[in-house]
Structure formats: structure tokens, C-alpha cells
């Protein structure tokens, strides 16, 4: 039986462990997402009300976390948006619908809170099924003016970005200090960093842009 609930402080370490298990060696050798989760909770952009865990028979097996973000237009006007990530499910519980449950539930919550849009960096194959589209379709570029393949937008309030030319600014919490992440990782059980072919796809998609 799968259930979802808001994350509490008592869940922090177990959630970090799940994130580490899910991301380890997937996109780069090792990973830093568990450290990102760790620092995110003390950051002013963190949105605890949207951070959920998934439980399988009472055991936490998945998590999603949200931060405040914004889009800025040429005149410096901005609109508040939100961003999720990391989202993760323990490898042995993946492909059972748990990640989708976490995403659908928090999309619903975000809509109820009156959020206008969710903007993420993520693989389209994971997110288009929830209604995410290329940021280019809404005129939303990254801060350097390009349209990354992985920059995806779910408009919750139709027409929010209509006619605008925007740049997406995510929370600075995502600029993880690699040395601090390395130190933090030593507080977990040792895991071997290694190459996996999934890292190639990530290297390609993270350097791909939409025309």
C-alpha cells in the first residue's frame, strides 16, 4: 500500500539516503542531490508545504521537494513560479507509479495554493506525461538567453506567460558547493563512484538546446 504525506523533520536523513540511492552514478559518478536536499531545507526559497514523501507499507521510499523560482522579463518585471527537484524513488520501488503519485499530488497542491506555473530542469521523457512542455513554447529562456532541451514548464494558470519574453531564474540553492557535498557524503555509508552509460545521455541532453 502506497501513501503520501508531507515531509517532517524526522524524515530528513532517510529522505537524503533515498535521494542518494536514486541518483548515485546515474548522471555523474556519485551524486550531490542528497547534499542539495540537506541545504535546501534551511534556504529561504524552500517550500516545505509542497515537500512530500511516499511510503510503502509505512516505509519511506520516495520524495519530492520544491523551491520558489521566478521568470523575469526585459524590463525586470517578474512572476513567481515554483520548481521541484530532487524527485526520487528508491531504485527497487521504481516503475510502480510512486514517482507519478508524488508529482500529481503536488501539482494538485500547487494549483490549490494558486501557483501559476512549475518550471524544472528535467528529462522530457519523465515529465511531458504530466503536461510539461518546452520552455521555448512559452518564451522562457534560461538566464543566458538560450532554450535548454531540459527546461520544462507546466502552466497551471493558462496564459500566464502569454506574449512575454522571459528568463527563468531558479533558486541559488541549486548551485551546490562540490567540496561541501563531498564532505557531506562521507557521513553516509561508502558507495563506489563509477561510470555508467546513463551518464552519456545526461551529458548530451544537458548540452542540447531547442531551436
Ligand X SMILES: CC(C)(COP(=O)(O)OP(=O)(O)OC[C@H]1O[C@@H](n2cnc3c(N)ncnc32)[C@H](O)[C@@H]1OP(=O)(O)O)[C@@H](O)C(=O)NCCC(=O)NCCS
Query: Which residues form the interface with ligand X (CB under 6 A)?
Result: 22-23, 26, 87-89, 94-100, 122-123, 126, 129
Shorter beta-carbon distance to ligand X: residue 67 or 88: 88
Least separation in angstroms between CB 89 and ligand X: 4
Shorter beta-carbon distance to ligand X: residue 99 or 148: 99
At residue 44's C-alpha, the angle toward residues 43 and 47, to 5°, is: 90
Cα(38)–Cα(20) distance, integer angstroms: 11
Shorter beta-carbon distance to ligand X: residue 4 or 79: 4
Shorter beta-carbon distance to ligand X: residue 89 or 153: 89
Least separation in angstroms between CB 134 and ligand X: 15
R_g of the chain computed on alpha carbons: 17
Least separation in angstroms between CB 95 and ligand X: 4
How many other CB atoms sit within 10 Å of the CB of residue 30?
Answer: 17
Cα(100)–Cα(14) distance, integer angstroms: 20
Least separation in angstroms between CB 163 and ligand X: 29
Contact 114, 18 (CB under 8 A): no
Amino acid at each position: 500500500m502506497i501513501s503520501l504525506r508531507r515531509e517532517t523533520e524526522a524524515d530528513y536523513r532517510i529522505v537524503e539516503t533515498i535521494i542518494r540511492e536514486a541518483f548515485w552514478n546515474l548522471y555523474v559518478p556519485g551524486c550531490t542531490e542528497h547534499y542539495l536536499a540537506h541545504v535546501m531545507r534551511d534556504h529561504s526559497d524552500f517550500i516545505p508545504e509542497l515537500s512530500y514523501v511516499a511510503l510503502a507499507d509505512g516505509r519511506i521510499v520516495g520524495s519530492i521537494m520544491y523551491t520558489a523560482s521566478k521568470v523575469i522579463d526585459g524590463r525586470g518585471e517578474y512572476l513567481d513560479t515554483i520548481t521541484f527537484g530532487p524527485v526520487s524513488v528508491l531504485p527497487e520501488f521504481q516503475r510502480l507509479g510512486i514517482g507519478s503519485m508524488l508529482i500529481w499530488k503536488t501539482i494538485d497542491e500547487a494549483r490549490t495554493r494558486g501557483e501559476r506555473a512549475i518550471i524544472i530542469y528535467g528529462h522530457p521523457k519523465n515529465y511531458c506525461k504530466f503536461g510539461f512542455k518546452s520552455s521555448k513554447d512559452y518564451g522562457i529562456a534560461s538566464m543566458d538567453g538560450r532554450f535548454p532541451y531540459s527546461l520544462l514548464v507546466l502552466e497551471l494558470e493558462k496564459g500566464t506567460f502569454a506574449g512575454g519574453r522571459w528568463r527563468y531564474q531558479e533558486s541559488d540553492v541549486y548551485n551546490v558547493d562540490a567540496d561541501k557535498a563531498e564532505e557531506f557524503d562521507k557521513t553516509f555509508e561508502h558507495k563506489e563512484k563509477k561510470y555508467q552509460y546513463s551518464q552519456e545521455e545526461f551529458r548530451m541532453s544537458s548540452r542540447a538546446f531547442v531551436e
